[in-house]
């Protein structure tokens, strides 16, 4: 083969080496951690490199130092007149558990919290003040000691400037409201605690700059009150998007397909047999709650030592529609607390956009192909085997898939594979997540190994290309990792993230124990 696909990207005069090194770069980029994605300034929540600012918070126990991490994917450069939208931002903070004092009853295990951050936007001597309202951390576990980690996410107002110059964003006062979600039964769950934090002495609070190129104007004093603009509110040159959240009711509607087909929970872990012979009760709940979310991921093709991005977050990803909680199966524990089984089944539909794959045929011929996914309905089963806390949590997604290849090029030259080149039969995809995927509403990580069957129907005019693709692609051990984000529940557009946020691509995580 002669090419180590783990070399970093580089350029070479010979065309074959260029293509293969480009493929290696793609593979290396895909399999590296989130840091490289952040360098490219993409717009996924949480993949922008966070900036840490030390804050002083006024808690009942006194002043407490907290580390605040702001991740907002502003591009490095912008354009005059075009709104700058970082997409969903994350404002994370680590708060000492002890600092919250009596505001959190001692048995509190989960809190929800909402944050508002004042952000100053400045350019060429002008400033505007934005309020990042309603950033929500829906459920954070409370450790018995140590730090409480709150990760607030949400959409923020856009910024538009109509002059060249550097736009600087600076974080100011952070107001946080923390509420216990599961409180001690001895106390009223209570109103929780609202407190404010300001950047610590010596901190500038600067977290992003965007350069708007062009000849800079001469500075002129603006923003101060004038007789026909007594509040000084008409910020010449800096306009902020709507402050109450830019999402309209129409934007909150799910854009996902309605799942069709039958549930098939045969790949979920079954209930272990009991000496008393009891089997789980099967119960049809109903048509299910309509939800939509984003599932993005990576599919490794083992033989090619390469990967494809599934539902690329940067290229108009599509939503997955899941009809949640259509069916349950459950068995009560016996008098020894054994035999507990609980399973929730949901039906999903994911009509994936086509993906692009580049690989080296026979180790040296660069081949590129477009891949069309034909996905059957997906059964997502989550639940517990055994009633002990955290024991036996399972999550399984099962569907059948076929692949079609088209627009194939070998060394840049189109190769006509015909219109029916693809896998010879649908194959099973079974992905598991354990506790990393608690339920279809929270989403999480699911992964598994897929066996790709032989290819058929490839080639035209009597030429049979099936063995080219079968030799290069088909076989076992193709690892797939998917990350599903929080779901928007269509009937609860204000209590759930509607529209749903696009999660980050999963990195190559070690498998769950």
The binding site for another protein (CB under 8 A) comprises 109-110, 112, 138-139, 181-186, 189, 283, 285-286, 288-289, 324-325, 328, 330-333, 337, 340, 342, 344, 382-384, 387, 389, 393, 435, 438-439, 441-442, 489, 492, 495-496
What six digits make up the tokens of 275? 């000496």
Looking at the Cβ atoms of 10 and 141, the one nearer to another protein is 141
Grouping H, G, I as helix, E, B as strand and the rest as coil, residue 35 is helix
User: 124 with 217: CB under 8 angstroms?
Assistant: yes
User: 355 with 310: CB under 8 angstroms?
Assistant: yes
What six digits make up the tokens of 473? 């692609």
Looking at the Cβ atoms of 41 and 189, the one nearer to another protein is 189
Torsion of CA 26, 32, 36, 40, to 10 degrees: 40
Looking at the Cβ atoms of 77 and 495, the one nearer to another protein is 495
134 backbone φψ class: left, alpha, beta (φ>0; ψ -120 to 50):
left
In whole angstroms, the minimum distance from the beta carbon of 182 to another protein comes to: 5
Q: What angle do CA 383, 325, 179 make, to 5 degrees?
A: 75
Looking at the Cβ atoms of 241 and 333, the one nearer to another protein is 333
Looking at the Cβ atoms of 440 and 468, the one nearer to another protein is 440
In whole angstroms, the minimum distance from the beta carbon of 105 to another protein comes to: 11
In whole angstroms, the minimum distance from the beta carbon of 438 to another protein comes to: 4
Looking at the Cβ atoms of 343 and 404, the one nearer to another protein is 343
In whole angstroms, the minimum distance from the beta carbon of 91 to another protein comes to: 21
In whole angstroms, the minimum distance from the beta carbon of 147 to another protein comes to: 20
Looking at the Cβ atoms of 120 and 184, the one nearer to another protein is 184
In whole angstroms, the minimum distance from the beta carbon of 252 to another protein comes to: 17
Q: What angle do CA 413, 416, 419 make, to 5 degrees?
A: 145
CA distances to 60, 179, 188 from 94, in Å: 17, 16, 26
477 secondary structure, DSSP code: E
In whole angstroms, the minimum distance from the beta carbon of 149 to another protein comes to: 17
CA distances to 29, 307, 330, 508 from 40, in Å: 11, 19, 47, 19
Looking at the Cβ atoms of 103 and 329, the one nearer to another protein is 329
Looking at the Cβ atoms of 50 and 499, the one nearer to another protein is 499
Strand blocks (E) in 376-472: 378-385, 393-410, 413-415, 422-423, 427-432, 444-452, 455-456
Strands 51-59 and 62-71, bridge-based pairing: antiparallel
Give me the residues paired with residue 321 across strands.
Answer: 292, 349
Grouping H, G, I as helix, E, B as strand and the rest as coil, residue 353 is coil
CA distances to 174, 194, 202, 204, 212 from 63, in Å: 14, 14, 16, 19, 39
In whole angstroms, the minimum distance from the beta carbon of 322 to another protein comes to: 12
In whole angstroms, the minimum distance from the beta carbon of 382 to another protein comes to: 6
Sequence-separated (6 or more) residues with CB below 8 Å from residue 494: none
Looking at the Cβ atoms of 296 and 329, the one nearer to another protein is 329
Site of tokens 């910024």:
159
Grouping H, G, I as helix, E, B as strand and the rest as coil, residue 261 is coil
Sequence-separated (6 or more) residues with CB below 8 Å from residue 293: 256, 319, 320, 322, 440, 443, 484, 485, 486, 487, 488, 500
In whole angstroms, the minimum distance from the beta carbon of 189 to another protein comes to: 8
């Amino acid at each position: 083969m002669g090419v180590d696909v783990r070399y970093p990207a580089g350029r070479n005069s010979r065309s074959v080496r260029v293509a293969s090194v480009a493929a290696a770069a793609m593979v290396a980029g895909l399999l590296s951690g989130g840091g490289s994605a952040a360098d490219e300034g993409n717009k996924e929540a949480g993949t922008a490199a966070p900036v840490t600012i030390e804050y002083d918070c006024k808690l009942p126990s006194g002043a407490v130092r907290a580390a605040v991490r702001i991740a907002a994917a502003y591009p490095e450069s912008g354009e005059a007149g075009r709104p700058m939208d970082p997409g969903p931002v994350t404002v994370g903070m680590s708060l000492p558990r002890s600092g919250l004092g009596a505001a959190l009853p001692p048995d509190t295990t989960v809190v929800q919290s909402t944050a508002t951050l004042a952000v100053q936007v400045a350019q060429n001597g002008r400033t505007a003040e934005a309020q990042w309202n309603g950033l929500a951390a829906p459920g954070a576990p409370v450790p018995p000691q140590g730090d409480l980690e709150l990760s607030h996410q949400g959409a923020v107002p856009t910024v538009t400037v109509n002059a060249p110059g550097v736009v600087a964003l600076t974080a100011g006062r952070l107001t946080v409201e923390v509420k216990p979600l599961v409180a001690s039964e001895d106390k009223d769950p209570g109103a929780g605690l609202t407190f404010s934090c300001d950047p610590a002495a010596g901190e500038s609070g600067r977290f992003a700059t965007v350069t708007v190129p062009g000849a800079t104007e001469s500075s002129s004093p603006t923003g101060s009150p004038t007789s026909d603009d007594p509040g000084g509110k008409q910020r010449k040159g800096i306009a902020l998007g709507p402050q109450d959240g830019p999402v309209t009711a129409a934007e909150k509607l799910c854009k996902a397909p309605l799942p069709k087909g039958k549930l098939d929970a045969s790949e979920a872990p079954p209930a272990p047999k009991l000496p008393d012979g009891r089997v789980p009760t099967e119960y049809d709940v109903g048509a299910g709650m309509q939800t939509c979310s984003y599932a993005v991921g990576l599919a490794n093709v083992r033989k090619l030592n390469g990967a494809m991005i599934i539902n690329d977050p940067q290229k108009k990803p599509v939503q997955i529609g899941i009809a949640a909680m259509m069916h349950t199966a459950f068995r009560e524990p016996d008098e020894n607390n054994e035999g507990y089984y609980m399973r929730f089944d949901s039906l999903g539909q994911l009509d994936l956009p086509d993906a692009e794959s580049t690989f080296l045929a026979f180790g040296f011929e660069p081949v590129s192909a477009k891949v069309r996914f034909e996905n059957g309905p997906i059964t997502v089963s989550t639940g517990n085997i055994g009633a002990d806390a955290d024991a036996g949590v399972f999550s399984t997604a099962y569907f059948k898939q076929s692949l079609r290849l088209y627009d194939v090029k070998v060394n840049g030259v189109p190769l006509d594979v015909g219109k029916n080149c693809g896998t010879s039969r649908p194959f099973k995809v079974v992905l598991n997540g354990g506790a990393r995927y608690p339920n279809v509403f929270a989403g999480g990580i699911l992964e598994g190994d897929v066996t790709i069957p032989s290819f058929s129907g490839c080639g035209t005019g009597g030429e049979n290309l099936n063995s080219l693709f079968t030799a290069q692609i088909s076989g076992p051990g193709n690892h797939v990792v998917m990350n599903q984000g929080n779901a928007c529940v269509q009937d609860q557009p204000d209590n759930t993230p509607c529209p749903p946020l696009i999660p980050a691509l999963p990195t190559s995580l070690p498998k769950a124990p």
